[in-house]
Amino acid sequence: MELEKISYDQCSTLCSDHYAWHECWFDCLRKGYEGAGVCASPSPNVPKKCCCQAQSSNSLLHF
């Protein structure tokens, strides 16, 4: 499976040991994003932040 490019347009909270991927994911759902929230950074020199991702129709996973 190929990973999609991460959008850094909707990044806010700094990710840490106390605010990790699961808090990020939940916060993005609460904000109305249907896609995942991911802790990411555009550069290794920049701290990771929670970036909410809009879900496109071609990125849906079916189980």
pLDDT digits (tens, 9 = 90+) for 33-60: 887 899 999 999 999 999 999 864 334 4
Binned at pLDDT 50, 70 and 90, residue 1 comes out as: very low
Residue 47 lies in a domain: yes
Residue 27 lies in a domain: yes
pLDDT at 54 (0 to 100): 82
Structural domain count of the chain? 1
Q: What is the DSSP string of 1-63?
A: -PPPPPP-TTEEEEP-SSS-HHHHHHHHHHTT-SS-EEEE-SSTTS--EEEE-PPPGGG----
Q: Cβ neighbours of residue 21 under 8 Å, at least 6 residues apart?
A: 15, 37, 38, 39
48 residue type, one letter: K
Residue 7 lies in a domain: no
Residue 26 lies in a domain: yes
Higher pLDDT, 55 or 9: 9
Instruction: Tell me: pLDDT of 62 over 50.
Output: no
Higher pLDDT, 61 or 5: 5
User: 39 is in which domain, residue-wise?
Assistant: 14-55
Residue 60 lies in a domain: no
